[in-house]
Amino acid sequence: MASPRPHLSRRHLILSASALAGLQGLPAGAASLMPTPRQSTGPFYPVELPLDSDNDLVQIAGRAQRAAGTILHLGGRVLGPDGRPVRGARLEIWQCDAFGVYHHARDRRGPADASFQGFGSTAAAADGAYRFRTIEPVPYPGRTPHIHFRILGPGFEPLVTQMYIAGHPLNAEDGLYQRLGERASLVTVVLEPAPDLEPQSKSGAKRGLFDIVLGPNGVPRDS
């Protein structure tokens, strides 16, 4: 049996401030921030969570090979409409692999990448910050590239949304994205090259910042 890697995820995922240099979050205390729009959970939320469901989706415990695709270091903060961090927030993400296949029995387009976790979770820090190491999302028939998010916590209703790539040509053809109208900008993220975050990766890496703002009815009273 392969030995566990208790520190691998944390070594990769607890990024210093310099790891996301050049990306700035929403200002703390900002007034009347627009809430992140809700979107559907979709058909591919895991029926059964994987044994390894940490915030590093690229490297699965016990497997030497990492996931196919361009590595994406994705971070941000979970905030209330007043810009203050939301205490106790937990985040889940899920997405298809680099070949457009989900780890889900209903997705029969082909075998999913066994080295890609497909689902991950993490807890936001006291300042609302979170980090994921995953892959740049790719399109599949009928959908532009996206990553599903679910934010849960004590005292507020879970928020389910999707994150999209700024400037991707398929955004204009995606019905769920277009349905957002002007609010699409709130879930559209600029991805920047970040080879410094994965110096040993031949394909380099990217980074992106996705701040999530809960609506006024979805924030705990003591947040």
Domains parsed from the chain with CATH numbers: 8-15+32-214 (2.60.130.10)
- The 3-state DSSP class for residue 210 equals coil
Query: Residue 166's pLDDT band (boundaries 50, 70, 90)?
Result: very high
Indicate the residue type of 4.
P
Q: pLDDT higher for 50 or 21?
A: 50
pLDDT at 3: 37
* Average pLDDT value for residue range 103-107: 92
Whether the predicted pLDDT of 162 surpasses 90 = yes
- Find out whether 52 and 117 touch, Cβ atoms under 8 Å: yes
- For residues 209 and 197, the answer to whether their CB atoms sit within 8 Å is no
**Residues in Cβ contact with 199 at an 8 Å cutoff, skipping those fewer than 6 apart:** none
Is 80 exceeded by the pLDDT of residue 139?
Answer: yes
* 3-state secondary structure at position 94: strand
At 217 the three-state DSSP class reads helix
Whole-number percent of the chain with pLDDT over 70: 83
pLDDT number for residue 13: 38
How far is residue 222's CA from residue 151's CA, in Å, rounded to a whole number?
17
Average pLDDT, the chain: 85
Residue 205 pLDDT? 95
14 — pLDDT class (breaks 50, 70, 90) = very low
Model confidence at 160: pLDDT above 90: yes
pLDDT band at residue 16 using 50, 70 and 90 as cut-offs: very low
Q: What is the DSSP letter of 177?
A: H
Query: Quick one: 50 exposed, middle or buried, by C-beta within 10 A (0-12, 13-18, 19+)?
Result: middle
